[in-house]
Structure 1
Amino acid sequence: MKKNNERLEKLTTTYVPEEDRIMVSGQLSDGRTLALWLTQRLLKMLIPNITERLQKMEDSLDSVNTPNVKDKHLEDKNTKSVPVSLSEKSVEEWLVTSVDISNNDSTIMLVFKRSSLDKVSFIADKSLMNQWLDILKKNFESASWPLDVWLENVYSKSSKIN
């Protein structure tokens, strides 16, 4: 990566049995692709942190009573997207060693790192982050990884559609 902190515009998340890891294929703003390898250990630390933040965001939204938030979630769920394609020429692969996470009232930012210099960010609103969590959970299931990381009381409440 030439730039210090580039942004992923689109993600495709798949479990790769041969690696026993989840690969996040990301498209950068300039069209290049990046394959991020995420271990079960890293995800088991990241997922509860995301779900906790989503819960706090939901509680904040409930207190403000923002209209049409649920409709937006339904719209996003029904939008089909073309998966990120990995062509050998434009792919760089990273084993992600850490993830920084931050949020404001409406978005969560994940900064995937392989070193202090190599990092790439992904910013998602609540709906998109819930979609990614749904995909991650399906990947955990297909990998036969323990599902204890999916705190049912937090995750199911943050992804519920009324």
Structure 2
Amino acid sequence: MTMNQCIATMQNIQLLPIKTVTLRYDQKEDRIAMAARTEQQEQTLFWLTSRMCRKIIPPLVKSLEQSEGRNQQLVDPSLAMACRQNAAEWQHKEQQPNEVPVELEGDEHTVLLEEIQMKQVPGGLILLFPLAQNKKATLKFTPGELRQWLGILYKQFAAAGWKMEVWPEWFTSRIASGMN
């Protein structure tokens, strides 16, 4: 489904593409704060609870595994996924100095996420975050960008001290072996 088809199926809903996100664990709230800035420069703070993260991680990982295919029988699929994950995170680290974190002032645009919709599109995945007044913020990922975002989310899980059983073995084994 293309972005235009996605829009067509959501009549009367305004979609706001997200340009930049910053994730950080908030110990006081025991939640991950995702500060987002849309292409229209609107800013929103989305709260991701442990429950919500545990709900979205398996389908995100499944989407990633399916997008990368399991055709290469010469390499162990878990090893291939771990190597691709490392490459995506290294690429993100190289890009990071150019990125300006999203800093929000006040809490007028704060959303505690109770649902996140996912739509497969050619070349990636779109996450849809509900906003007020028939609006949804959209975050589109290529497989490489999804890997980077999952890597950041994983680090926030670790900072929170949340249980890691929701993460696939290929993801956690590369961390344990020092490949991060």
Q: In 2, distance between residues paired with 1:156 and 1:51?
A: 15
The aligned residue for residue 78 of structure 1 is 94
1:142 has 2:156 as partner: no
Aligned residues: 149
For residues 9-158 of structure 1, what are the structure 2 equivalents within 5 Å? Answer: 9-59=19-69, 75-80=91-96, 81-88=99-106, 92-113=109-130, 117-153=134-170
Query: TM-score, normalised on structure 1?
Result: 0.79
Q: Which runs of 5+ in 1 are unaligned?
A: 64-69
Q: Which runs of 5+ in 2 are unaligned?
A: 1-12, 74-85
When residues 39 and 79 of structure 1 are mapped into structure 2, their CA distance, relative to the original with a 3 A threshold, is: same
- Write the deviation string for residues 2-47 of structure 1: whole angstroms up to 9, x where unpaired: x732111110001101111111000011212110011111110100
Identity %: 24
When residues 97 and 88 of structure 1 are mapped into structure 2, their CA distance, relative to the original with a 3 A threshold, is: same
When residues 115 and 96 of structure 1 are mapped into structure 2, their CA distance, relative to the original with a 3 A threshold, is: farther
Q: Matched residue of 1:122: which SS?
A: strand
- Write the deviation string for residues 35-82 of structure 1: whole angstroms up to 9, x where unpaired: 00111111101001000000011117969xxxxxx9887544410211
Q: Matched residue of 1:82: which SS?
A: coil
Query: TM-score, normalised on structure 2?
Result: 0.71
Query: Which one has the largest radius of gyration?
Result: 2
RMSD: 2.9
Q: In 1, distance between residues paired with 2:172 and 2:133?
A: 30
Q: In 1, distance between residues paired with 2:170 and 2:88?
A: 23
- Write the deviation string for residues 107-152 of structure 1: whole angstroms up to 9, x where unpaired: 1100012579342110011111111101111111110100001011
